């Protein structure tokens, strides 16, 4: 009697992922952050830009759960809207990095030879440059706004994706399904994008998930240094800057945005690790 409920790859992945409690925690954190970012105007109790000189540096209260800043603005509302900035930067920057890495890695791995050598030497050159200092140098010559930050982070974060995709292509291009596609006269572009690339996306998905956490950290660091998202636009980094300036008597300006960054990065890291473990074929014998 046949199996009425075959164990497809997607089912196996879901079963593995559900068994990883930390991965579930990460997924819940990421989902909650996404909901907060999308529905920020509904969730935020106050206008994040509303200045109230009567409540300057007010400690956490029922009306202001995370206190107020030096202009009397509600920190909780600013953190909620700051989640939009952080997630937008993370997704867009890693989207740019992933696209660049996919193209370069696919071309290098598929064609090999001098093409592979030239592209991989360029990747090695980029890896020798400290990424954060390169971002600082580029931002110093550009207007510090969210668009430039997303583009710069994306243009400096594609190298690991390129190396992952290249390794996958080197292994997959010798498989029978690729040989069959060549035998029927499929073009190089069709083989790369229709046959090999879909089978090389698993490590890219893991890398992108982990990379979002890194992009959020980078944006927060740039905003903290004053060359990232500029006030009055709220971001967790520029709220931390206010906390640094008022650390002696306004602890909430440092603690709450710091916790938000910590929980967000932890959530994406747990989710990425869970996806990686669920996709690992060496775990087949555990189910």
Per-residue pLDDT of 202-251, as tens digits, reads 888 888 998 999 999 988 888 888 888 888 888 898 888 888 888 888 89
Least confident of 16-30, 180-194, 247-261: 180-194
Q: Is 74 helix (H, G, I), strand (E, B) or coil?
A: strand
In this predicted structure, the answer to whether residue 144 has a pLDDT above a threshold of 80 is no
The strand ranges marked E within the chain are: none
Please say whether the beta carbons of 166 and 116 come within 8 A. yes
CA dihedral 96, 99, 104, 107 (to 10 degrees): -170
pLDDT of residue 282: 56
H helices within 54-145, ranges in order?
75-111, 113-128, 131-141
pLDDT of residue 271: 92
Fill in the DSSP letter of residue 195: I
Question: What is d(CA 64, CA 222) in angstroms, rounded to the nearest whole number?
Answer: 27
Please say whether the beta carbons of 109 and 165 come within 8 A. yes
Please say whether the beta carbons of 18 and 40 come within 8 A. no
pLDDT of residue 281: 57
Q: How confident is the model at residue 265 (pLDDT cuts 50, 70, 90)?
A: very high
Q: Domains in the chain, start-ordered, CATH in brackets?
A: 67-270 (1.10.3720.10)
Q: How confident is the model at residue 5 (pLDDT cuts 50, 70, 90)?
A: low
Handedness of CA 123, 125, 131, 135 (dihedral sign): negative
**Whole-number percent of the chain with pLDDT over 90:** 32
Torsions phi, psi for 181 (to 5 deg): -65, -40
pLDDT of residue 162: 93
Q: Which helix (H) or strand (E) holds 26?
A: helix 21-38
CA dihedral 145, 147, 150, 151 (to 10 degrees): -120
Other CB atoms within 10 Å distance of the CB of residue 49:
15
What is the rounded average pLDDT for all residues in the chain? Answer: 86
pLDDT of residue 1: 44
Q: Which tokens hold the place of 235? A: 């971001």
The whole-number average pLDDT for the span 110-129 is 90
The whole-number average pLDDT for the span 131-136 is 81
In this predicted structure, the answer to whether residue 20 has a pLDDT above a threshold of 70 is yes
User: What percentage of the chain's residues is helix, strand, coil (to nearest 5)?
Assistant: 75, 0, 25
C-alpha to C-alpha distances, 206 to 116, 181, 270, nearest whole angstrom = 24, 28, 11
Tokens 């559900």 belong to residue = 18
Other CB atoms within 10 Å distance of the CB of residue 63:
12
């Amino acid at each position: 009697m046949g199996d009425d409920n075959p164990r497809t790859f997607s089912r196996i992945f879901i079963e593995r992922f559900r068994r990883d409690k930390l991965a579930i925690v990460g997924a819940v954190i990421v989902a909650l952050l996404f909901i907060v970012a999308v529905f920020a105007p509904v969730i935020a109790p106050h206008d994040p830009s509303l200045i109230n000189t009567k409540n300057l540096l007010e400690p956490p209260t029922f009306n202001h759960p995370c206190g107020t800043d030096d202009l009397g603005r509600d920190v909780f509302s600013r953190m909620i809207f700051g989640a939009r900035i952080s997630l937008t930067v993370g997704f867009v920057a890693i989207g740019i990095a992933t696209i660049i890495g996919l193209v370069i890695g696919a071309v290098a791995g598929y064609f090999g030879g001098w093409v592979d050598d030239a592209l991989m030497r360029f990747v090695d050159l980029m890896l020798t440059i400290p990424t954060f200092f390169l971002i600082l140098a580029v931002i110093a010559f550009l207007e510090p706004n969210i668009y430039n930050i997303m583009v710069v982070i994306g243009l400096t974060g594609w190298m690991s994706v390129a190396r992952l995709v290249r390794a996958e292509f080197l292994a997959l291009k010798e498989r029978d399904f690729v040989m069959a596609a060549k035998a029927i006269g499929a073009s190089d572009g069709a083989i790369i994008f229709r046959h090999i690339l879909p089978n090389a996306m698993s490590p890219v998905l893991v890398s992108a998930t982990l990379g979002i956490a890194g992009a959020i950290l980078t944006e927060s660091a740039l905003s903290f240094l004053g060359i990232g998202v500029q006030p009055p636009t709220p971001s967790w980094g520029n709220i931390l800057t206010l906390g640094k300036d008022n650390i002696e008597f306004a602890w909430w300006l440092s603690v709450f945005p710091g916790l938000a960054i910590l929980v967000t990065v932890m959530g994406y890291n747990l989710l990425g690790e869970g996806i990686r473990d669920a996709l690992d074929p060496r775990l087949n014998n555990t189910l």
